[in-house]
Structure 1
């Protein structure tokens, strides 16, 4: 077990932005603990994968316990896992509500508690959560009440965490994306989705990765909700 390298935990790490985050942190020589429901083992000995439902507290315990056992510490947590179901509010089902709150809220709560407990041992650490600009700037034709309920809650929780743990050396920030080109969106939808942004195009996964890396390397930034949304949150 080595404690000379920084260690990052990334949720929702099997594809899309999560998988890109794993690559980016490894390029910076971080040890990575990557978790997702169906993530496969990695050939990289400096990447520990833990398969499981992030909304299950047992998954959170395994991720943090196994990560500390392998790498000795937790320096950064990226709460990337999230689901989005676009439906008119009255058409959401109890199953939709349970699924979204399990991943977006419970998935944040359980693992963040355990990660911060480890960070407190070293009087340093950083929690970054991926939210959505829809929580601040709703768009007609993009029904998003449950996304706003859950991810907007994470924006508020981020600020609360930042203040609660500021004197403990632990920072908390969030990245608030617009619509990003990822496996979530079929290519034939890109033109219409891009038009929803003042800049006229969708963001790239690298834009979100770069924002996370910036925040992780910015020791005087905490409580920040960094909008990476092509101007959506500024207006139309």
Structure 2
């Protein structure tokens, strides 16, 4: 039976790259995004959903299981990043960032892990940020650290909680990746934030996630894909 991967934030950028990569591996894919277009591929279930809304993540898992019968991999890629001074964040910023970064993770992962335990194993990967480990004065991003730092912590907690049940849990902590999230006119400045002097590319993130997918002895890992940013400047 073909394996099934659920990818959130799948309509563009890293998420779209992951959908393509998992299909090349022969996985059936559940692709989720607020702006997810329909797919012509019968092995791709495209779901348009705002995962910040209570219960939507639960529905996504239910639809995935109804269509394909199992979930082997979940990539929690959906996320939102708002960079501004801490005292300028609003209640609306807090709700938006925690809704996508935390509620989406909680609702989808809870159901997916339950399915993985029942079927005998699986893998959860969450996209985080290297700013959790290496804060930059030039990029004030307390809400990213608040939420993604929690995701790094729960990655380790769940890896240990479910290790004996053959469910692996890992994260990738990213530097700044060349995606539609960033305007092209900012690329030179953003590249300078990495010791290697360039932006990361989508395929480099996809490769890192596929490494975690294939190496079954890796769990509880926060894999930095950040051009050396977490090591220092």
Partner SS, residue 154 of structure 2 = helix
Unaligned residue ranges in structure 2 (runs of 5+): none
Q: Does 1:109 align with 2:86?
A: no
Q: Does 1:75 align with 2:72?
A: yes
- For 1:20, the equivalent position in structure 2 comes to 17
Q: Does 1:211 align with 2:227?
A: no
- For 1:42, the equivalent position in structure 2 comes to 39
| Contact preservation (8 Å) 1:80, 1:130 | yes
Q: Does 1:132 align with 2:126?
A: no
Quote how far apart the aligned CAs of 1:88 are.
0.4
Partner SS, residue 21 of structure 2 = helix
Unaligned residue ranges in structure 1 (runs of 5+): none
Q: Does 1:5 align with 2:5?
A: no
Deviations 1:196-216 (A, max 9, x none): 100010100111111111101
Q: Does 1:144 align with 2:141?
A: yes
Quote how far apart the aligned CAs of 1:61 are.
2.1
Quote how far apart the aligned CAs of 1:33 are.
0.3
Quote how far apart the aligned CAs of 1:15 are.
0.9
Partner SS, residue 139 of structure 1 = coil
Large movers: runs of 4+ above 2 Å: none
| Contact preservation (8 Å) 1:57, 1:111 | no
Partner SS, residue 233 of structure 1 = helix
TM-score (norm 1): 0.97
- State how 1:93-104 maps to structure 2 within 5 Å: 93-104=90-101
| Contact preservation (8 Å) 1:50, 1:62 | no
Quote how far apart the aligned CAs of 1:53 are.
0.8
In 2, the alpha carbon distance for the partners of 1:115 and 1:57 equals 16
- For 2:190, the equivalent position in structure 1 comes to 193
Quote how far apart the aligned CAs of 1:58 are.
2.6
Partner SS, residue 124 of structure 2 = strand
Quote how far apart the aligned CAs of 1:105 are.
0.4
Quote how far apart the aligned CAs of 1:56 are.
2.2
In 1, the alpha carbon distance for the partners of 2:137 and 2:59 equals 41
- For 2:117, the equivalent position in structure 1 comes to 120
TM-score (norm 2): 0.99
